Amino acid sequence: MRREALATIEAQLAQKLTQEGLPIRVISRVKAPWSIYSKMREENKSFDQVMDVFGFRVVVQKVMQCYHALGAVHSLFKPLDAKFRDFIAIPKANGYQSLHTLLFGPYGSPVEVQIGFIKVPDAPATARKFVPRTGYAAWSIRKTPQIRRSNFWKT
């Protein structure tokens, strides 16, 4: 059930963001049972308090597209109150820049969405050839084996 729910939510996100005309990559994950257990133990939480069982990363090409994607995602699923972080406006000390939001998912589970960007020139051809080596997008590529550098941005 978890994988089916993940695929359904991913398809809904991708469809909405594509309708908005955003060049995106959506990368999904289900938190492993051991990770959930560890988080519950370390942070003294119940299962109901673990809010990132379903997680998605949306990668766009420009900063303004991050905010556009955020609006689209919030129109698809309602955000949880006080569960939004803007690390673009206020980057972390290590330079990390991304938007984090927590949503009411379609199956009653909270859904975490992180929206980041790759710093590239405006030319789409350049963006397709770009291979990030540091930051958010590099992490996404390293952690997602199905992404090939040659087809990172589909047109």
Q: Is the pLDDT of residue 139 over 80?
A: no
The architecture of the domain spanning 2-39+48-145 is 2-Layer Sandwich (3.30)
Question: Parallel, antiparallel, or unpaired for β 54-60 and 110-117?
Answer: parallel
Query: Higher model confidence: residue 113 or residue 54?
Result: 113
Residues in the chain: 155
Q: Is it the case that residue 126 has pLDDT exceeding 80?
A: no
Cα–Cα distance between 148 and 133 in angstroms, integer?
Answer: 14
pLDDT at residue 134 in the model: 53
Which tokens go with 53? 């069982």
Tens of pLDDT, residue by residue over 48-71, are 766 667 789 999 999 999 999 999
Task: Give the number of other CB atoms < 10 A from CB of residue 48.
Answer: 7
Q: What DSSP element (H or E) covers 37?
A: helix 33-43
Distance separating alpha carbons of residues 129 and 114, to the nearest angstrom: 23
In the chain, where the domains are located? 2-39+48-145
| Residue 143: predicted pLDDT | 56
Residue among 78, 79, 59 at smallest CA distance from 17: 59
Residue entry with tokens 């949306």: 58
What are the residues whose beta carbons fall under 8 Å from the beta carbon of 114, sequence distance 6 or more?
Answer: 55, 56, 57, 58, 98, 99, 100, 136
> What letter would DSSP give residue 137?
H
Mean pLDDT of the chain: 78
